[in-house]
Structure 1
Amino acid sequence: MRTLQQDFLRQKMQALGLTREQFANQLGVKKRALDTWLLPVASKEARQMSESVWQLIEQRWPLALSQRPDCSLLDTLHCDGVPHLLSVGQFNRDSLEELFGIAALLEPVARRQKICPVLDGAVLGNLFFEPSTRTRLSFGAAFCRLGGSVCDTTGFTFSSMAKGESLADTARVVAGYFDILVLRHPETGSVAHFAEHIEVPVINGGDGSGEHPTQALVDIWTIAKEFRRLGKQIDGSCIALVGDLQHGRAVQSLFRLLQVFRSIHFKLVAPAGLEMPRELLEQAEAAGHRVTQHSVLETGLRDADVIYATRIQRERMTTEVMESYPARFRIDRNAIESFARKEAVILHPLPRDSTVEANDLATDLDGDPRLGIFRQTDNGIALRMAVFAVLLGVVPDLQGAMRDARWRRPARVGRQDATFHLL
C-alpha cells in the first residue's frame, strides 16, 4: 500500500535534511512543481506527481532512509529542517501515540491541579486572519498554562496585509517578535507558504478549506479517551461523519488522520452536493478501510461507535445556495434514541448552529453523557500544550517543573457535565 504523496515527499525531505528548493533541484524540477505536489489533496492547485518521479525517488532514496527506528516526535514535525506543525500528513501511528502520551502527562496542568511554567519568558504570536473563538483562545490558554505570554491579532482589517504587505514579509517581521506562531488564514496552503520563509516554529490553526491539524489531533485523542472508558479500540471501530463533508477542513483532517489506524468503517452521511471529496474516499479505501455513503441518519448512525457532526460551512461556499441541512440531518435526541447505539460517543468540532432551522447538533442532547463536545474542547488545552512543548523542545523538563496549584477550582466546569468528567 502506497503512502500519501504529500507524506511520502515530506518523509524524504526530512530524512535527507533538504529544503524544498534543494529537494526540487535534486529531482531536476522547479520548486513550484514540488509545491503543488505538497499541497493538501483538497486544494484546487494540488497536482498528482508522475509515476516516473515516484520511481526516481524510490530508487535514489530507499524508503528505509525515512523510517529510522530512532526517529522522535520532534523529527516527524520538521519541515525543511524547522519544527512546524502544518499538516496531519506529518503524523503516523507511533508519533500520534507519543504526542498523546505527552498530552496525558500535561492533563493535571490543563485541569488546574498543577503548574508547569517551562515556557516562562516565551511569547506566542496568535495570528488569526479569520474569525475564531475556541481555537484562538485554546492556543492562548495552553501557552499561558506553560508559563508563556500571548499576543493576539484577529482579522485582515487590523493587519498590514490590508495595506498590501506580502505574506512572506509579514512572516519575517512577526518572527522577529515571537518564539512560536499560530496562524489561521482564509487561503488554502497559505500557512505552509508563511512557514517556509522563517525558522521560528509555525502551527497551522486552519488554512481556508485545507487543513486544521490540531483539531484533528484533539478529536482523535478525545475518541481514544472515550473508548478507553468504554473498553473499546479505534482499530476496527465504526465512525459516522455527518454533515458538510465537502467544505469542512476539521472533518476532512480527522478523516485523513484516522487512516493511520486499522480497519475502520467510515459511514459518511451528507446531503447531496456536500459529500466527502472523491480523492479522500479513494485514499481511505486504498489504506484498507471500509467507506459507505448514506443520505439518511437511519442507516448512517446505525452501529456507529462515534457520531461526529459538522455544521454547514457557509463561509467556504461559492456557488452553493443551501442555507441549512435538510431536517432529516438534524442530530437530536429523537434521532439518537431511534438510530444510535446506547454507548455511541457524540462529537462536534464546534461551533454548532443551535438554531432549530439550522438542523445541526441539537441542544436537547445537552446533559446526555454520550455528548462529548465539551470534553472535546477541554481536551484541546492539554493537547495544544503538548504541541508547544514538542516544538519548543521542553518535553524533558515538564515533569520536573510541575508543582501543585494553590488556587480554588470547581469540581467540574459545566453544571450539565457528565459525572465522570471532573477537574
Structure 2
Amino acid sequence: MFFKKVGVIGLGRSGWAATQLLRARGVDVEVSDCLESKDIVEKAEILQEQGIRVELGRHSRGFIQNKDLIVVSPGVHNPLISLWAKQENIPLISEIELGYYFCHAPIIAISGTNGKTTTATLIESLLKNAAKKVALCGNMGIPFSQIVSENNYEIIVLEVSSFQLEKIDKFKPYISIILNITPDHLDCYKTFEEYRRTKYRIFENQEEGDWGIVKATQPDPSKINSGSQILYLNEEDENKQAVRLVGEILKIKKEIVDKTLKEFKGLEHRLEYVGRARGIRFINDSKATNVDSVRYALQKVSPWVILILGGRDKGGDFGALRSLIEKKVKKLLLIGEAREKIKNQLAGVKPIKEANSLEDAFNLACQAAEKGDTVLLSPGCASFDMFANFEARGKEFKRLVRDIDLTSTPGVEVR
C-alpha cells in the first residue's frame, strides 16, 4: 500500500478497526464522524492521545482535501463525500477493500438479502470442524480490518453487505456467494436494480480458479461479471446447500459437513424460540429487518400469530404480506416510525393496533393471545428509531418474556 495520508470517515466498529490497521502500518491517518455521542467522543479522545487528528460533528470538505485515500465506513451515506473526493481526484474505498490490501488468506465472502449471517456462521463451523484456523468477520460483527491486523488465520469467512460492496476496487474472494436478492434498503438505493447490481459486485474481480455460488432462480448472466466457475443453489434451504458446495470446493469430507449441519442450533434473534407461558409461544425474530424476512418467518410459524411489526422503514412493500397474514395472523401490532405506512398497506386484512413502544406492543400481544398462539416479533424494519440495533431490540423482547408475572401465568417455560 503506497498511501501516506489517509482519511477514515466514520468512527463505528469498521472505522475504528480501519484506523488502527492504518496506524499500525505507519500511515498518517485522520478520522471524521458526524456524530458527537458519548461513545464516539470517548473513541476520539483515545485516538487523539495516539496523535490522530479527529473531526467530530460534521464531515467537511476540508477533511477530504490533501489526502491520498479516503476509507468510508458502511454506515455512512453522505453523497457529498463521494462528490468532494471525485472533485479532489482522491480514491474512495470501503473498509473491506482496505482490509483486502493487507489480507494474505483466501476469502469466502457471503452476501444476499437474507440468510448471510446464518450461512457465514455455518461455514465457519464447518471449517473449524475440518481443523482449519478460520476467522468469521464482516457485516455481522468483527470488522475485516481487525482480523487482518491479527494476521494469523489460514482462511477468512466474510459476511458482506451491499454498502460494503459499493466502494470496492480490487476486492476478490476465492469463493463468492449470493444467497438471494429481494427488495431491501430502498431508502438508500434509487431502485431495486441498483441494489441488485451492487450485490453482484462480489463477483466482478474473480478469475479462473475462483468460485461463485448463486441461486439458480435469480442469476442474470449479464450481472455476473466473473471469470470464476459458477455453481448454482437449487434447493429451498439455500443456507445448507451453500455449505455443502463450499465443502465440495474445499474437499472437506462429507461426514464433517453432515455433522456441522446436524449440530447447528440457529442464531440469536433469528426465529429464536424464547419461551412459553399459558400455552403461548414467544419467538424473537428481531433480525428480520425487511419484508422478505417477515415472509420467511410467517411461512415457518404455525397459526395463529400475534405479529409485532414496525420500526424504521427501509422502503419495503408490506402489502406483499397480505396473503400470508390472512392465513397465519390473528392480530397486528405496529411500532415505530413505519406504523402509519404499514397500517395503510395492510388495512382490512386483520385487526391492527398501534403501540408507542415495544413493551406496549408486547403487553397488547399478551392480552390478545390465547393458548396455542404465537407472539412473534418480526419487525420487517430497521431498529434505529427505537434501539441501537436489532440485537438490542431482540434482547428487550426476551427481557419482556422473562419478566412475565409467574404468579398470573402458570406453566411458564423461558429459555
Greater strand content = 2
TM-score surpassing 0.5? no
TM-score, length of structure 1 as denominator length:
0.29
Greater helix content = 1
Name the larger-Rg structure.
Answer: 2
TM-score, length of structure 2 as denominator length:
0.30
Structure with greater contact order relative to length (CA < 8 Å, sep ≥ 6): 1
